[in-house]
Structure 1
């Protein structure tokens, strides 16, 4: 186990070292500018963004992870000898998600305006 960790660290160190030695390093004013979607930055760097979009994205990720776990669970649930245990485990998992959704609903996160 320790040898594998040492080999992994050495592999990363060699890769970063090779990248540093082989890349061209010619800093120009254009290279030092902040890159923003191919458009030159104009004005101040402060912009007001609605947080609710991030909350909806986070909730989407939570339920996408839920669906990723549901499909393998359905496969294992069909196997003989795993029915009761996997059913209880999935209800516990869905309970945690339901508590999170209930918390978001009670905080008013799910209302658009």
Structure 2
């Protein structure tokens, strides 16, 4: 009898799993059934943001594009670290302030270095 009780506790999990698998199968079948069947030149044409495509898809981007993107990610992650620190500011006390000051100092030095190297100059 204990095995029946134990298995009944898994019923909601198995129900959600069955529903999700059923949805995947149903939606895949419906997209195949209702989807376009004939490929035309207009459908095969590349389209992005409402603009006609221009140039080659193999065009190289400058390194500065990637540097700016990487810097954005770094400083976005900084904001992610600052929020929980600000919420727990009183509980962390002086140790938290010293740790975050070191973190911000390191980021500031990195920003100054990148600025001096001219990576933020857009041409």
Q: TM-score, normalised by structure 2?
A: 0.55
* Alignment match of 1:94 (pick from 86, 101, 104): 104
Shift of 1:88: 4.3
Summarize the Cα distance change of 1:84–1:42 in structure 2 as closer, same or farther, 3 Å threshold.
Answer: closer
SS in 1 for 2:47: coil
Q: TM-score, normalised by structure 1?
A: 0.58
Q: Which residue of 1 aligns with 2:119?
A: 110
Q: Which residue of 1 aligns with 2:27?
A: 19
Task: Confirm or deny that 1:35 pairs with 2:47.
Answer: yes
More helix, by proportion = 2
Task: Confirm or deny that 1:64 pairs with 2:37.
Answer: no
Summarize the Cα distance change of 1:12–1:88 in structure 2 as closer, same or farther, 3 Å threshold.
Answer: farther
Summarize the Cα distance change of 1:59–1:31 in structure 2 as closer, same or farther, 3 Å threshold.
Answer: same
SS in 1 for 2:48: coil
* Distance of 2:59 and 2:46 partners within structure 1: 15
Q: Which residue of 1 aligns with 2:60?
A: 48
Summarize the Cα distance change of 1:68–1:42 in structure 2 as closer, same or farther, 3 Å threshold.
Answer: closer
Q: Is the 8 A contact 2:85 2:96 kept in 1?
A: yes
Q: How many aligned positions are there?
A: 107
Q: Is the 8 A contact 2:68 2:120 kept in 1?
A: no
* Distance of 2:79 and 2:25 partners within structure 1: 41
Q: Is the 8 A contact 1:52 1:109 kept in 2?
A: no
Question: For structure 1, which segment, 87-96 or 21-30, has the greater mean C-alpha deviation from structure 2 after superposition?
Answer: 87-96
